[in-house]
Amino acid sequence: MAQRYCLALDLRDDPTAWDEYDRYHLEVWPEILASIREAGIESMQIYRTGNRLFMIMETAASFSFADKGAADAANPVVQKWETLMSTFQQALPWAKPGEKWLLMNKVFDLGK
């Protein structure tokens, strides 16, 4: 059964950088798209309001954050992308050291 994950992250407080971040996501590098699909992520959207980012991922049942993290760590192109994106991003105030995208807890579902 497919899984849905929602994650949040902030961008640095610089509206010019927000626009640049958005532009990078209009043409994500093909290697990044391949790494996302290879991990079992079937659908991904990122939304932004101000400097707050919200990501929705739909994944295959076999998807694993640990496996995705290991594959990313071993992929130099993904590491280059992550280093570039880190110049725009900042952790949420309650994130632990080294954490970027944080999983969100569902607090309401109209369908249930």
Per-residue pLDDT at 112: 76
Round to whole Å and give the CA distance between 21 and 12: 10
DSSP 77: H
- State whether CATH 3.30.70.1090 applies to domain 3-103: yes
**For a pLDDT cut of 70, what percent of the chain falls above it?**
100
Tokens of 54: 């919200």
Q: Give the chain's end-to-end CA distance (angstroms, integer).
A: 18
Q: Tell me the sheet residues that pair with 48.
A: 53
pLDDT tens for 35-90 read: 999 999 999 999 999 999 999 999 999 999 999 999 999 999 999 999 999 999 99
Pair 103, 4: CB distance under 8 Å: no
Q: Work out the mean pLDDT of the chain and round it to a whole number.
A: 96
Over range 89-100, report the average pLDDT: 94
Where in the chain are the domains? 3-103
